[in-house]
């Protein structure tokens, strides 16, 4: 606790110091030239250009500012650039850090809960993963209880026979559907892996 507080104080100090250095460089007054012509004068402001040393100082100051800000965020348990699931334990998913605190009986209960969680509907996952015409075809097959004839599919979706055949071949290669000869057409059905998860 004291170590974390010390890290936080040092990081905040570095952040403030780097900010002061950066602002003092950026807010320097531009040089001014006063030009006198007879009884009148002109004030000409010359644009300020940074020296190489000042540019390096700004670069180093920016680096230390970023590092110090990162340490401040870590000390306060704020993860602004992390993926959403950093705080998965807030939603009931246990992380390794939380499991270290638990007894072995509680760990066993948690692993049993995770195993017994509700099964994933593979059809919904599949429809979310597919796009475009493949998604239309699979959705139509799913809506027809997972099985239908290829010529019915052509008529229902108003696709050409060639386009439907090409999409179905791609889906068959991906292991999503299976085709079986049925007279002059094919019987299209979802594979057992897709159908079996939903039973």
- Could you give the CA distance from residue 57 to residue 61 in angstroms, rounded to a whole number? 6
Angle between helices 150-157 and 161-173 (to 10 degrees): 120
Tens place of pLDDT for every residue, the chain, 199 residues?
567 778 888 888 888 888 888 888 888 877 788 888 888 888 887 877 778 888 888 889 888 888 888 888 877 777 666 544 444 444 444 444 444 555 555 555 555 555 544 445 666 666 666 778 888 888 888 888 888 898 888 888 888 889 888 888 988 888 888 888 888 888 988 888 777 654 4
Predicted pLDDT at 29: 78
pLDDT digits (tens, 9 = 90+) for 89-133: 444 444 444 445 555 555 555 555 555 444 456 666 666 667 788
Q: What is the mean pLDDT of the chain?
A: 75
Could you tell me where the DSSP H helices lie in 27-174? 52-75, 96-101, 104-115, 122-129, 132-143, 150-157, 161-173
Give me 55's structure tokens. 């540019």
- Residue 11 has a CB neighbour count (10 Å cut-off) of 20
Q: How far is CA 133 from the centre of its chain?
A: 26
Angle between helices 132-143 and 150-157 (to 10 degrees): 120
């Amino acid at each position: 606790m004291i170590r974390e507080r010390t890290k936080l104080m040092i990081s905040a100090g570095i952040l403030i110091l780097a900010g002061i250095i950066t602002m003092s460089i950026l807010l320097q007054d531009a040089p001014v030239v006063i030009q006198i012509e007879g009884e009148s004068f002109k004030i000409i402001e010359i644009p300020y250009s940074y020296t190489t040393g000042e540019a390096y100082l700004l670069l180093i100051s920016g680096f230390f500012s970023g590092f110090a800000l990162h340490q401040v965020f870590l000390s306060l348990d704020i993860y602004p650039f992390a993926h959403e699931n950093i705080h998965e334990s807030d939603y009931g998913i246990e992380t390794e850090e939380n499991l270290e605190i638990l007894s072995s009986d509680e760990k066993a209960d948690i692993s049993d809960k995770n195993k017994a969680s509700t099964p994933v509907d593979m059809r919904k996952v599949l429809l979310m993963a597919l796009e475009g015409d493949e998604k239309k075809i699979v959705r139509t097959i799913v809506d027809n209880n997972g099985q239908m004839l290829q010529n019915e599919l052509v008529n229902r979706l108003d696709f050409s026979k060639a386009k439907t055949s090409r999409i179905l071949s791609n889906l068959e290669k991906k292991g999503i559907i299976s085709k079986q000869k049925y007279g002059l057409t094919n019987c299209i059905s979802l594979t057992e892996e897709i159908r079996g998860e939903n039973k």
